[in-house]
Chain A
Amino acid sequence: MRLSLDKVEPELAKLWEEEARRTRATRVELLTLVALVSEPHLYDRAREVVERVARVHPLRTVLATWIESEHAGITADVALHRVSPDGPACGDAIAVEAAGDARDWLPENTDRLALPDLPLCVWWVGDLPDYDRLFDRMARIADVVIVNSEEMDLRDLEKLSTVSARVRHTCAMTDMAWSRLRPLQEMVARFFDDAAGRECMRALERVTIEFSPRAGDKEVASTQAGLLFGWMANALGIRAEGVQWKRGPTWGEATLGRVVARFEHHPRPDVPPGSIVRVALEFDGARFDIERQDDPRVFRWSRETPGAPVPPQTLGVDIAEEAGLLIRCLERPRRDYLFENSLQLASKIVRPIAPRLSSLPRPM
């Protein structure tokens, strides 16, 4: 039965009272997660993800979607998340449907449904629209906005960067694709943990990032590849100004001063689209390599540095599903300066090959 929004809290209280009688479960909630489902076909997927997240993080979820209608209105459905189908409750599950123009009312009404004095995290499910004020308005009420740039186009990095810069004083922005990069960043960082590795740093000549493209993708870099290089450029102090691009059908090469960054398609059906398959760094006389093996969860890390032998390492990296990535993002619901800086740099570097629609004539 769909409820008006003012009935949501009493209904939840009733459900928890029943639950307390049945299982003695304690109502523990650490944050509110609002999932804004931008396209109807993503609804079931988003629901499944938030259910899985709720089993790990006790939280209130608000799954919001919208439908076409002549009559504006928002209604809700409430239930409790459960650890298992017959297990104890572990959070509030609110499903909100906005009809017609009521979509514009979602920000203030999701705010109304948020738990008091606890972080409000907004997950934008799906691709980022080019012209949609809803995203910007949600960012204003949220403590953390979570996106998944894996599902976006390269040009969206600029939009993300702009929004991130605009809301940085009121909310943090994080990206599931960015959280997927963490193990890779750690692997790249370990190249430079010792003096021998760091000595090479100044002699970096070429970075190659191979990634698995989305089916039929014409873009020569994925958002993940762009972010990874943005992060590396940030660490190395490489500037984006004056970047020169060359490109072929499945590759692109950016020249940034003395460093050439090459992005290349390397299709792998066994990894999520956009995922990194290989990262190679070439220096004058040294070569560092991280390569995904036949088992997609396994990377081989190797470093050839003159006079400083280091045996290669095999490192396991779980391929996190969407729920796992979202959990990682929720673990630290606060500003991530490294992400913001890397995103900003990445968006500038890829801009010549991924111009925003806003820089093109606006559609009529």
Chain B
Amino acid sequence: MTTDNPFRLGLETERIPDPCVFVIFGASGDLTRRKLIPALYNLAASRLLPPGLSIVGFALTDTSEEQFRKSMREAVGSFSRRKPIDEAVWGDFVSRLHYVTGRFEDPSSYARLRDKLEQLDKTNGTRGNRIYYLAIPPSVFRTVNDRLAEAGMVAEDGGRYVRVIIEKPFGHDFASAEALNADLHRVLAERQIFRIDHYLGKETVQNIVALRFGNAIFEPLWNRNHIDHVQITAAEDIGVEGRGKFYEEAGASRDIVQNHLLQLLMVTAMEPPVAFTADEVRDEKVKVLRALKPIRGDDVKRLTVRGQYGPGNFAGQPAPGYRQEPNVSETSTVETFVAMHMEMDNWRFAGVPIYVRAGKRLGKRCTEISIHFKNVPHALLTQGASGPSADASRIEPDVLAIRIQPDEGITLRFAAKVPGPSMVLRPVTMDFRYGSTFGGSGPEAYERLILDAMLGDPTLFARADEVSAAWRFMTPILEEWEHERLKDLPVYPAGTWGPPGAFELIERDTRAWRRL
């Protein structure tokens, strides 16, 4: 489309999306208020939305368009990264907001929705282009897709595009993920499906690709010859925060590990793609998952650790245990912490342990990937040293740490000589921080991902085979945990770094978790 536009050549914004109607199923929900509408508003404020774009909320809640607009204004006021609301931008944005009350299973609701969309096509020039954002529980994905198809609302005829964005969880195990994919593929082509994992929209995650493939110095070291091990941590200091019901079904493994952590692993471990295009990138990512050594049977006990937070503290204040959280069973055996020792069977990473951990109510909020390089092959600089001097001269291996959040940036730890007459080495760091280097706040993950979906670029979205492969790896572990039928999980006090088993998992390999 816009590649034919000579006025776009050389401009920072090389493309803006074709006009479309952006339909949000589940428009009265939290995701719409907290993320979607603020993201769309921010895109409007950045002048990245096309003229004619319309947004239609669809939900069961019986509310007027006026009331919907009012409530979305409150949402933008509370959750947009741009404050205060720019009245001129809002004035234009609000005129694009519409609402249709309807039931997900009711065909007549879709007929009304279709009429509304067709009317917008006529007045706004949206030409039948649609984005359907399913901000709804996965249990109704199938119903909504079927009804949309029955109403003739998903066919890409006459040059129009129809895309469906779905939110995780994409299934709860391998079988259900396959079933979900099959359901989606009954009515949609894979190119129409955009499975969102907001981690991939984060600038810092995209920067891993830039770091690896935009610099010549790292990639030669990025393999088993130089890397001792990799650690990936996704730590939250908060608890389940009112999401007890969801968490009881998901647990840390389904909430974080199966998607976000494996996404981070894929970006860290993938081979350079032939081109930075959606399928080339995703082909390489899937290969990482396929290369993961399955963890099955007795290995589950040996290579994985679960835990649940008990009462403790949060930043120095008393914090309840998981079982004391609202909507959580008093006898829950759902894990709020997972640690794993993974390995990959491929040329690049064979024999390199990958330690991952994720959890709630840990010591601090921090998501980080750290690449721990091998130690020097010969302790040249400690030769002849003895006693305290030898100890002081012990060389700490180099570490490259990529912080995803907060305080996004990259740190390289290496050894330097302490000034003085003797050869004493000390680890020092070179630090790059996004905040202090580039200043200002970049776009939020949802802004980037929604814009990409409008532009039809699925690079940062999960493909069906990616989701399946992730579940294929996780499901035997989950099943083994089910079979264990534990009455109680190892408990760690809120505010600490997980149960003792998490430390044993890495320490038995004579390694240690990095202090975050």
A interface residues (Cβ-Cβ under 8 A, vs B): 26, 28, 30, 55-58, 90, 182-183, 185-194, 198, 201, 232, 235-237, 293, 295, 297-298, 301, 303, 308-317, 327, 336-338
Contact = CB atoms under 8 A, between A and B. Distances in A.
A298 B89 CA distance: 8
A309 B92 contact: no
B386 interface: no
A194 B92 CA distance: 21
Interface in B278-315: none
B422 interface: no
Interface of B: 1-2, 4-13, 15-16, 18-19, 45, 47, 50-52, 86, 88-89, 91-92, 122-125, 431, 433, 436-437, 439-440
A295 B88 contact: yes
A57 B439 CA distance: 7
Contact of A26 (B10, B86, B431): B431
A187 B91 contact: no
Contacts of B6: 192, 201, 235-237
B96 to A, nearest CB: 9
Contacts of B5: 189, 192-193, 198
A201 B5 CA distance: 10
Contact of B47 (A183, A192, A310): A183
A114 to B, nearest CB: 19
Nearest to B432: A28
Contact of A194 (B10, B11, B18, B433): B18
Contact of B123 (A298, A311, A327): A311
Contacts of B125: 308-311
Given A189-B11, A235-B6, A298-B88, 9 more contacts: A189-B5, A189-B7, A192-B7, A193-B8, A193-B50, A232-B7, A311-B125, A315-B89, A327-B439
A316 B88 contact: yes
Contacts of B88: 293, 295, 297-298, 314, 316
A192 B16 CA distance: 11
B11 A338 contact: yes
Contacts of A192: 5-8
A192 B15 CA distance: 11
Contact of A186 (B47, B89, B91, B437): B47
A309 B123 contact: yes
Contacts of B436: 28, 58, 90
B45 to A, nearest CB: 6
B108 to A, nearest CB: 29
A231 B437 CA distance: 31
Task: Give the interface SS of chain A, mostly helix, strand, loop or mixed.
Answer: mixed
A201 B124 CA distance: 22
A263 B18 CA distance: 32
B238 to A, nearest CB: 28
Contacts of B437: 28, 30, 58
Contact of B2 (A193, A297, A308, A309): A193
A235 B92 contact: no
Contacts of A312: 51
Contacts of B433: 28
A308 B127 CA distance: 10
A227 B436 CA distance: 33
A91 B86 CA distance: 33
B8 A316 contact: no
Given A314-B92, A338-B9, A338-B10, A309 B124 contact: yes
A316 B19 CA distance: 19
Contacts of A235: 6-7, 9
A49 to B, nearest CB: 15
Contacts of A190: 16, 50-51
Contacts of B9: 235, 338
A186 B11 contact: yes
5 contacts: A56-B440, A198-B4, A316-B86, A336-B10, A338-B9
A303 B125 CA distance: 12
Nearest to A187: B47
Contacts of A58: 436-437
Given A56-B440, A58-B436, A194-B1, A310 B52 contact: yes
A190 to B, nearest CB: 6
A193 B431 CA distance: 42
B52 to A, nearest CB: 5
B439 A314 contact: no
A337 B89 CA distance: 32
Contacts of A327: 439
Contact of B10 (A30, A316, A317, A337): A337
B11 A185 contact: yes
**Residue from B2, B8, B47, B431 having most chain A Cβ neighbours under 10 A:** B47
A298 B92 CA distance: 11
Contacts of B10: 336-338
Contacts of A297: 88
